[in-house]
């Protein structure tokens, strides 16, 4: 009789361990889904928009470099921009480090 009770308790403990294991995996999958929709997906969306914006930049656009240098695009090359930052002062900057000058956009919206 005692053996039967111990056998049933052991079987119940194994079933509970199996349930805990499934709960763990379900929680891990849910955490991954939350990370994907709240962190990974929006970041890739922003990167695609920024890449599209860089491809649309043309001569005469006002830009800001990642280093905080304001200037105007003088020439567009395959992987770089030639930017005029002062009279007779030009620099060559990688396309990945250039952003549209948001201050000009904000001033245009106020008018």
Per residue in 67-84, pLDDT (tens digit) is 889 999 999 998 999 999
How far apart are alpha carbons 38 and 12 in whole angstroms? 39
pLDDT for the residue numbered 106: 53
DSSP 8-state assignment for residue 78: S
pLDDT value for 107 = 56
For the chain, which ranges sit under pLDDT 50?
A: none
pTM of the entire predicted model = 0.58
pLDDT of residue 21: 78
What does residue 57 show for φ and ψ, rounded to 5 degrees? -65, 140
Considering only CA atoms, which of 74, 95, 76 is closest in space to residue 85? 74
């Amino acid at each position: 009789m005692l053996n039967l009770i111990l056998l049933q308790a052991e079987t119940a403990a194994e079933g509970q361990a199996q349930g805990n294991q499934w709960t763990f995996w379900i929680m891990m999958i849910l955490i991954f889904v939350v990370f994907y929709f709240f962190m990974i997906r929006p970041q890739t969306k922003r990167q695609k928009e920024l890449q599209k914006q860089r491809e649309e930049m043309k001569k005469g656009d006002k830009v800001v470099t990642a280093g905080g240098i304001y200037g105007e695009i003088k020439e567009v090359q395959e992987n770089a921009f030639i930017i005029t930052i002062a009279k007779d002062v030009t620099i060559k900057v990688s396309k990945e480090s250039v952003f549209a000058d948001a201050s000009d956009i904000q001033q245009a919206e106020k008018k």
